Amino acid sequence: MLGCSALMLVACLYAQAEPQPATPAPRPAEKAPPPASSPAPVDARPAATVDGAAISLAEVNREVQRVLPGESPAAATLALVQAQALAQLIDRRLILRNLSRTKVAAEPREVDVMVERLVKQLEPRKITLAEHLQRLGVDEAGLRHQIAWQISWGRYLERYLSDENLERYFKQHAREFDGTQIRVAHILLKPDPAGGAAAFAETYRRAEELRAALIAGQTTFVAAAQAHSAAPTGKQGGDIGFIGRREPMPESFSRAAFALEPDQISPPVASVFGVHLIRCLEIKPGQGTWQQARGELETAVTQYLFRWLADKERPAAKIEFSGWCPHFRPGTDQLVPARSTADP
């Protein structure tokens, strides 16, 4: 049976390229509008392959647009988001490999049904599937993969997002959901905005060297923040006060901060702002229950299951990077730049 999430996916794919105003504006009668320019061709170059199956640059770019809709980020930020998007697409392939083996994945016929429904929705507008997908910047293989992923992953979550599992996860990670707050300080190192992935990688290396000096006692965190941090809090030794698990800092920052004990310093943490070193100063315990945090728990358990399944499959999979897209060095957060378009 096809779940609601899969039906919503097709509706989204249908509506995304053809937004319609609630009240159509009248058109001037005296002059017809100029013809729309042809959509850019789908970039079919491979960003990576998983067991020989390619992930195209078009798929990566589509994920980037979903994260940064309509934005034109600096080169260094774009490189990071591209690498994150590629990492997620690789993990989806790994998870589908597991779900196929365990008979949870969508059957080809289920995907066929959803594609057929999309075609029927396009017919009244006299748009072919090929034309529609070109406007979306995805080919039919990419569409079928998206539908298969949505059906398969939704089916898996229906089995494992139970009250029992939510409560168990809460007990194992109570500090992240019971309202605990952590007082932290950080040092922010910013890459050259125009330097792309190479600048980000260099900034990451600088953060590793600075952390080594801190761990060795060659300087204090306050002094290092005052000397090196690009954040407004640098002059105050990096102290940003108390934060919650999901606000106000980026997810990568908060996740790393809540893994620390007092006086511990995190490894370098990448975010869209740059590279952080985080120090835990104080922990203020919370008193919330798992029922109060149900929504946050469902999100967290979904993310946990995603990482767990992907990591479970990773050792047996053959993952190769083409070099056309920035990516993380396997097993690390180190950014590897994309090769130049002039390279063979």
Q: What is the pLDDT of residues 295-323, one digit of tens each?
A: 999 999 999 999 999 999 999 999 999 99
Weakest mean pLDDT among 140-149, 260-269, 301-310: 140-149
pTM of the complete model: 0.69
Q: What is the pLDDT of residues 188-200, one digit of tens each?
A: 999 888 877 788 8
**What is d(CA 142, CA 133) in angstroms, rounded to the nearest whole number?**
9
Q: Which fold has domain 181-284?
A: Chitinase A; domain 3 (3.10.50)
Residues recorded for the chain: 344
Helix (H, G, I), strand (E, B) or coil at 327: strand
Which residues sit opposite 277 in a β-bridge? 187
Q: Indicate the angle between helix axes 294-313 and 163-172, nearest 10 degrees.
A: 80
pLDDT class of 11 with cuts at 50, 70, 90: very low
Measured between alpha carbons, how far apart are the two ends of the chain, in Å? 47
Q: Which amino acid is at 192?
A: D
Q: What is the pLDDT of residues 325-338, one digit of tens each?
A: 999 988 888 888 88
pLDDT class of 17 with cuts at 50, 70, 90: very low
The secondary structure of 164-224 as a DSSP string is HHHHHHHHHTGGGTS--EEEEEEEEE---TTSHHHHHHHHHHHHHHHHHHHHTTSS-HHHH
pLDDT class of 341 with cuts at 50, 70, 90: low
- For residues 149 and 92, the answer to whether their CB atoms sit within 8 Å is yes
Helix (H, G, I), strand (E, B) or coil at 271: strand
- What is the model's pLDDT at position 240? 93
DSSP structural state of residue 268: P
Does residue 342 carry a pLDDT above 70? no
- What is the model's pLDDT at position 36? 41
- What is the model's pLDDT at position 9? 47
- Retrieve residue 170's tokens: 């809460």
Mean pLDDT score across all residues of the chain: 84
Give the residue from 332, 343, 340 showing the smallest Cα distance to 87: 332
> What residues does each domain of the chain span?
4-14+42-167+308-336, 181-284
Give the residue from 143, 148, 90 showing the smallest Cα distance to 313: 90
**What is d(CA 313, CA 194) in angstroms, rounded to the nearest whole number?**
36
Options 2.120.10, 3.40.50, 1.10.4030, 1.10.3470; which CATH number does 4-14+42-167+308-336 get? 1.10.4030
Helix (H, G, I), strand (E, B) or coil at 61: helix
Q: What kind and span of H or E run contains 87?
A: helix 75-101
Does residue 19 carry a pLDDT above 80? no
Give the residue from 110, 113, 115 showing the smallest Cα distance to 155: 110
- What is the model's pLDDT at position 288? 93
- What is the model's pLDDT at position 107? 92
- Residue pointed to by tokens 């509008």: 33
Tell me the percentage of the chain whose pLDDT exceeds 70: 86
- What is the model's pLDDT at position 197? 78
Give the residue from 50, 8, 119, 86 showing the smallest Cα distance to 329: 86
- What is the model's pLDDT at position 138? 77
Q: How far is CA 84 from the centre of its chain?
A: 5
Weakest mean pLDDT among 19-33, 61-75, 94-108: 19-33
**What is d(CA 61, CA 83) in angstroms, rounded to the nearest whole number?**
11
Q: What is the pLDDT of residues 208-248, one digit of tens each?
A: 999 999 999 999 999 999 999 999 999 989 999 999 988 88
Please indicate whether residue 244 or residue 9 has the higher confidence score (pLDDT).
Answer: 244
Does residue 156 carry a pLDDT above 60? yes
- Retrieve residue 201's tokens: 């990688």
Give the residue from 47, 51, 43 showing the smallest Cα distance to 88: 47
**What is d(CA 230, CA 237) in angstroms, rounded to the nearest whole number?**
11
- What is the model's pLDDT at position 41? 56
> On the CB side of 163, how many CA atoms lie within 13 Å of its CA?
3
Please indicate whether residue 315 or residue 16 has the higher confidence score (pLDDT).
Answer: 315
